[in-house]
Amino acid sequence: MKKKWMKIAALIVALLIIAGLCVFANALVGNPVSKWLATRTAEKHLEEVYGDTDFVIEKIGFNFKDTDYYAHVISPSSEDSSFSLRIGMWGQLLLDTYESRVLTGNNTQNRLYMEYRALADEVLEAPDYPFTSFIAYGDLHVGFRPADVELPADYYPEHYYIIEELVLDKKYDIRELGAKAGYLIVYVEDDIVTVERAAEVLLELKEVFDRRNVPFYAIDFVLEYPRKPEGGTTKEGRVEADGFLYTDIYEEGMIERVSAANDAANAYHAEQDRITKELIEQQEAQENE
């Protein structure tokens, strides 16, 4: 009798372990039944809402963070018409991102950003790029202000180039956009970190980009000492010029302009440090009350 109860107990423990593993696996990768429900819901939604399009489901994946399924939808005829459907474990449609990604122009904007970044990489990742850069990439500060949507006048940061009508799948001249809204973010490592050296590097950077016919509107530039393998730089000190305009990069008065930009950057960081310190002091005071 005792052996019989021990077998039953072992069976119960084994079943509990298996159940626990199933729950754990379900939380990480989902389960076949829920995926089938998600697939059926996605297909039905596409047929009912987008039946007159060529949208197809590229893949359906499970997100363990929110335990929902995501159907990634694409169009073979439109590179800007990709979006996703969020579907719950029981097959309920939770979100359709078509409007927020396609109709708002977000996909088109992202495509333009990536095209300009690839253009900048042709210079920054070229074998003959003359500097060592810990951070170096191109960004595109383009904003879309649709005619039928009212937005505040200061909705976009200063120096953003606004496009009134962003056309789905339109082939924009990325170099033309780069001249109007291209931003470079470049950190250069050098053994000499002075305003004079920063001015020299900026002039050479402009020459390198001009030679490769890659326009930019402005640059966020930092000159710093070489970085150590474990992180940080070999020495303290840097020269920074944020939002330095392409049109301001020329020899006459260059050192003075870089010096003014560096002073402005130092003042900005000092103000941010002051604000952070005040917030920490306020939090500590509240905790001690």
Q: How far apart are CA 34 and CA 148, in angstroms?
A: 40
Q: How far apart are CA 33 and CA 28, in angstroms?
A: 15
User: 180, 114, 107: which is closest to 142 by C-alpha?
Assistant: 180
Q: How far apart are CA 215 and CA 206, in angstroms?
A: 9
User: 134, 95, 289: which is closest to 224 by C-alpha?
Assistant: 134
Count other C-beta atoms under 10 Å from residue 138's C-beta.
Answer: 25
- CA dist 66 to 30, 84, 167, Å? 11, 15, 34
* Cβ pair 262, 241 in contact under 8 A: yes
Sign, Cα dihedral of 191, 194, 200, 203: positive
Count other C-beta atoms under 10 Å from residue 161's C-beta.
Answer: 15
* Residue 103 half-sphere exposure toward CB, CA atoms < 13 A: 7
pLDDT digit string (tens) for the chain, length 289 residues: 555 555 444 445 444 444 443 443 344 345 888 899 999 999 999 999 999 999 999 999 998 788 899 999 999 999 999 999 999 989 999 999 999 899 888 899 899 999 999 999 999 999 999 999 989 999 998 877 666 667 676 777 777 777 767 888 999 999 999 999 999 999 999 999 999 999 999 999 999 999 999 999 999 999 999 988 877 778 889 999 999 999 999 999 999 999 999 999 999 999 999 999 988 888 887 877 7
